[in-house]
Amino acid sequence: MVDLNGRIRRVSDKASANEKAIKEIKDSLKPAKKREQLKIGIWPVCAYHAQMEPELKSKTILTDSTWEYVEIYLKQKSDGSVKHKNAIFYWQQARNFYQATKSLDNNSKPLTTYYCFLNASKALLEIKNIPYDFSHGVSGRSEKGHNNIKNEFVRLKTKGVLSGLCSYFEEAVVPQSEDEPHEEYSLKDVFYNLAYIHRSYNVTYPNQTELFIPILNPKIVKDKTKNKAWMQFELEPEHSNKATLTRLESLKYELEVIAENDENYTIRHKRRFKWDVARNNPDTDNLNRLNHYLKARRKELQYIYSANELWYIKRKDLTADSIINRNPLVLSYAAMHRLSELARYQPNVLKSHLEKDASWLLNEFIEKSIVQFIDQVSSEITGNKFRITGFRS
């Protein structure tokens, strides 16, 4: 007796398989497409240096120094209040310490560099009306043993300028316990979490997993038929592979299927937000959704101040204790404070650190952090994006 139902099922399964195969062939023959970049008026929306309040309608500011630009900005914004006067004063003080730093060697630079960081942070907190205690908000200690940066620790306090900086970035300081009202990290771990010294860190500690993935052209794109928008970027050819895609999954990024994805992978974020806008003129609700989305995605990214756009995404698939989920300004401030303590009270210990295995890493941090720190504070104060001059934008 013929099993008619079984034959029907087999024919149906074969038909489904053929349909799937035909669809895959058709998809492979579709020409690669590019998503339309979202715009506010004439201004394309991308990743911004400022994390909290980026200026969406602004050209990149080309300058080798942001000091003059920010001071003019602060004076133009001043309403004569004490806070605005304080912001201008602290910014000028930060610049004085920056200038003093230039003539010092790396055994002494942490002192003036830290006070540059301190006053620049105060200028930011004043102009943004963030309350803070006038203490430093950070301290340090050394673990017994050999002079090694893994034995140097920073302690983030619940009060002080650094705590105010954490509040600005919406990052609460969580005490370890009632007896230890602070968060504590080693200098080694702090350096691991800073993209602008990641290359020197990886050379110093070649056996530790790389934490940052370089990305290209991060921007917001849209699907106007569905009124949705999302973050998109590209990967460099050497990172355009399955391993990198796996690392990005925990951040909810995936391959953009309509792109070419031959030499450079195009990556999109799975989370979308509603963007129902006519003629690139968003209302308040759409702008609020965009700003909320930008802030969330910006927390995942770090950049290096340079003549080019150097962006990195911080991996989230690693579970090591060395991962610190804090803004690089906070970590740079804390690390420089510890080095300034050593320069003041234990200069021979600092000298020893600068001559040991991590010497290049430490020297790179001391040299590069001040430029990176001031650029990011400048961006947070003004909302602008800055780049070094000497190239075509």
pLDDT per position as a tens digit, 3-53: 666 666 665 666 666 666 655 654 554 556 789 999 999 999 999 999 999
* Domain end residue (candidates: 314, 329, 350): 314
**CA separation for the pair 82, 87 (Å, rounded):** 9
Q: Tell me, what's the pLDDT at 96?
A: 97
Which residues on neighbouring strands pair with residue 216, listed in sequence order?
Answer: 234
CA distances to 37, 64, 65, 192 from 305, rounded to whole Å, are: 24, 10, 11, 18
CA distances to 48, 97, 330 from 161, rounded to whole Å, are: 24, 17, 10
Residues 129 and 150 in one domain: yes
Q: Tell me, what's the pLDDT at 47?
A: 96
* Domain end residue (candidates: 314, 339, 354): 314
Residues 72 and 195 in one domain: yes
Beta-carbon-side half-sphere exposure of residue 190 (alpha carbons within 13 Å): 29
Residue 326: DSSP 8-state? S
Which residues on neighbouring strands pair with residue 40, listed in sequence order?
Answer: 43
Question: Tokens 């927390």 identify what position?
Answer: 299
Planar angle of CA 298, 189, 340, nearest 5 degrees? 100
* Domain end residue (candidates: 287, 314, 341): 314
- The answer to the question of residue 53 being in a domain is no
Question: Total domain count for the chain?
Answer: 2
Residues 196 and 281 in one domain: no
Residues 276 and 331 in one domain: no
Q: Tell me, what's the pLDDT at 6?
A: 64
Closest C-alpha among 334, 338, 358, 328 to residue 111: 338
Q: Which helix (H) or strand (E) holds 285?
A: helix 284-298
Residue ranges of E strands in the chain: 36-37, 39-40, 43-44, 61-62, 138-142, 152-157, 182-186, 212-223, 228-235, 253-255, 266-269, 273-274, 301-304, 310-314, 386-387
Residues 154 and 242 in one domain: no
**CA separation for the pair 140, 127 (Å, rounded):** 28
CA distances to 146, 277, 360 from 196, rounded to whole Å, are: 27, 37, 14
Residues 234 and 301 in one domain: yes
- The answer to the question of residue 125 being in a domain is yes
Residues 297 and 251 in one domain: yes
Q: Tell me, what's the pLDDT at 34?
A: 83
Q: Tell me, what's the pLDDT at 393?
A: 42
Please identify every stretch of the chain with a pLDDT value under 50, giving residue numbers as ranges: 1, 26, 29, 392-393
Residues 322 and 182 in one domain: yes
Q: Tell me, what's the pLDDT at 392?
A: 47
Range of the domain at 327: 64-209+318-387
Q: Tell me, what's the pLDDT at 13?
A: 67
- The answer to the question of residue 73 being in a domain is yes
Taking only the tens place, the pLDDT of each residue in 176-203 is 777 777 899 999 999 999 999 999 999 9
